[in-house]
Amino acid sequence: MERIKFYSATDLAAGHILSKAEDLILNFKEDRERTINDILELYNCTLYIEVFFDQWSAEYKEKLKELCKSIKGYISRNFSSINEENIELMVETLHWQYKEDFLKLFEQSHLKKRIDEKIFANLLSKKLFSIKQVCLHSQLVKHYETVVKQFLLGSPSNAELLFDKYVIESRINQKQLCLPLTKDEMNELISNYIDSPEANTNYLLLIINNHNTKEFSVTDELRWKSKRRKVCIEEELSNNSVGISIKYKFVLQKDAPMLVECKSKGTEFEIIYDLTYLEQELDFETILNNFIWLFDFMDNNGRVSFISTMSTTSILERLQLKAKRDYLNNSTFGVRETITDASMSLYYSLLKKQNVRLEEILEWFFKVYLKEDFAVSDYIFTAPSDGSSYREKCRDILPEIEYVIQQFKCYVDYGQINHEMLALSSSGIAFYQVPSLIKNKYVYKKDVLDTIFYYLFSDQSLLGYLENPEKDSETFYDLLEKHKVHIDEYKDYQKSELQYLIDNEYISIDDGFLRWKNPTRIEILYELYHYNVISMHRLSDVLQTEARLMHQENKVEFESTLFSKPEQDMFDYYLNNSKFQNGPQLRNKYAHGRLGNAANSNEDINYKNYLLILKLLIAIIIKINEDFCLYEKVNHSKINS
């Protein structure tokens, strides 16, 4: 029979279990003989009752409080009878889900006064408790510190606990871990872990990328050692692997029927570009536009397309290890990165064969195009020379990119580019600091929408599930978009969530059928959930009006920057380590000469990095051009209104 276990006040099973807990409390009789598991189940019942007291009348609450008080006294008396002679036999019978409860009551009942280090060590030696379970209780760790330290250092796999506590994002209870190790002992444990057969490549990557803090740091020697170990493990896995591979093929075809066409067959994808068009259309403006319309560097809302979003993360990916300072590098981001990198390489080579230097086009954009189309004078950009090595090109172009965004900020702030003033500045500039010419350029959701996002768009919500294979959908949004749904198709336990959506005017019921109350608002919510941001002035007038109404209701906020927050994060990921620890850090590595032997001796690596840097610069150019275009559009609308 399933026992009662309290997890949290937000546990979805709470309603069902609460009734069982209530019955056990009401039927409690002290004179009945109970096992340690029976006693700990009663303890969990009291936790449920305390959390959900608000559900009952004042009189009934008092009755339950008195019963719980009596039960707690009973539990305390039972724990006071535990001693060195009976503890091992008692712990051997513990149900796995009650072990942490036992340790919590062990701590509260001051059993440490009766259980010496030798007995406690014996419990750990026989694996009746894990060292991780013990380390969740700081008073036990403090009292049995010598024993705890011995067991922590005794198993290399315990190095993972260090990363669970200090590095990994959102691990429930892990931050409470009490690990009584000195810095030298931590390094010793990590070193042993790297050498051990238990080493996991996910944790090895955390060691390599770790952003050191006062609380927890990793030496450069351990990073290097971890990198070598990770390569060895991956080579071994690759040699023995029979996994599924996804292949991408990029084709230039003469007189292709379409400018760009994507074909797929199983796990193979083929992207075909019309070579005739690409070879004939070589004016500079068309070439830059091809990165938008042909190579999809930007979507139809003006957002850079090769960013990472949580909405594209699969359930399995959400379970993977992720450090607090890791950029969300999910599989969808990897696909977008692969396709845009490949198209960049393909187009750069093609243009070169046509005696067109892409770098010359980039110079033209700043020196000629901005001046002729938007009257912006003195914009400076100097591309790397044609004859320099790719290593030199990378080092030369990165400072130019920084100066590009400094000049744009200066123009927005002062209406002109003042190079003398910029020359006096000793500070750099971050991507989030670059303003836009346009007020209220971007729309972002506020936290108040999180619940709505969960109900409408999360595949973890049960609102898309009707126990009907013909209609069941991943999300409630998909269900309502694709099917006609009657309220009676839902179970009673789902209707409270539907009522929330009704009360907040997201859905309504018409003759028993569910429909969107305000489809325009749902469209905005969809965009915000899937892309994290909306470019306000690329919306239709109807959608803009709705966005302003949502702003008045404090559901969204507006910001005015050149780059949206997801774009800022993407640039930071690739170029530096100020925010993320798992990126290429191209600007830092080339600026400080920390490339390593491979990049210093292998121009193929530098060539690949150079194309990536050019891809980022083209994205910046597209965003700058868009800002000027939107500024003209917004001002023209104001004049005509």
Query: Do the strands 534-535 and 268-274 form a parallel or antiparallel pair, or are they unpaired?
Result: unpaired
Question: Using an 8 Å Cβ cutoff, are 203 and 193 in contact?
Answer: yes
User: Distance between CA atoms of 636 and 633, rounded to whole angstroms?
Assistant: 5
Residue stretches of the chain with pLDDT short of 50: 12
pLDDT digits (tens, 9 = 90+) for 293-314: 999 999 999 999 999 998 888 7
User: Distance between CA atoms of 294 and 303, rounded to whole angstroms?
Assistant: 15
Starting at the edge strand found earlier in the chain, the sheet holding 556-559 runs 534-535, 442-445, 556-559
Question: Using an 8 Å Cβ cutoff, are 7 and 17 in contact?
Answer: no
Confidence (pLDDT) at 12: 44
Confidence (pLDDT) at 638: 63
Question: Using an 8 Å Cβ cutoff, are 568 and 433 in contact?
Answer: no
Confidence (pLDDT) at 323: 85
**How big is the chain by its Cα radius of gyration, in Å?**
31
Of the candidates 523, 543, 532, the one whose C-alpha atom is nearest the C-alpha of residue 481 is 523
List, in sequence order, every residue forming a beta bridge with 508; answer none if it has no partner.
Answer: 515
Confidence (pLDDT) at 14: 52
Question: Using an 8 Å Cβ cutoff, are 315 and 297 in contact?
Answer: no
User: Distance between CA atoms of 621 and 410, rounded to whole angstroms?
Assistant: 16
* Region of 152 on the Ramachandran plot (φ > 0 left; ψ -120 to 50 alpha; else beta): alpha
Q: Which residues have C-beta within 8 Å of that of residue 269, sequence separation ≥ 6? A: 246, 247, 248, 249, 262, 263
Q: Which amino acid is at 529?
A: Y
Q: At what angle do helices 331-353 and 603-640 cross, to 10 degrees?
A: 100
Of the candidates 256, 346, 332, 357, the one whose C-alpha atom is nearest the C-alpha of residue 295 is 346
pLDDT digits (tens, 9 = 90+) for 3-12: 888 877 655 4
Per-residue exposure over 416-430, b if at least 16 CB sit within 10 Å of its own CB, e if not = ebeeeeeeeeeeebe
* H or E segment to which residue 260 belongs: strand 260-265
pTM to 2 decimals?
A: 0.82
How many Cα atoms sit within 13 Å of 309 on the Cβ side?
19
CA 355 to chain centre: 42
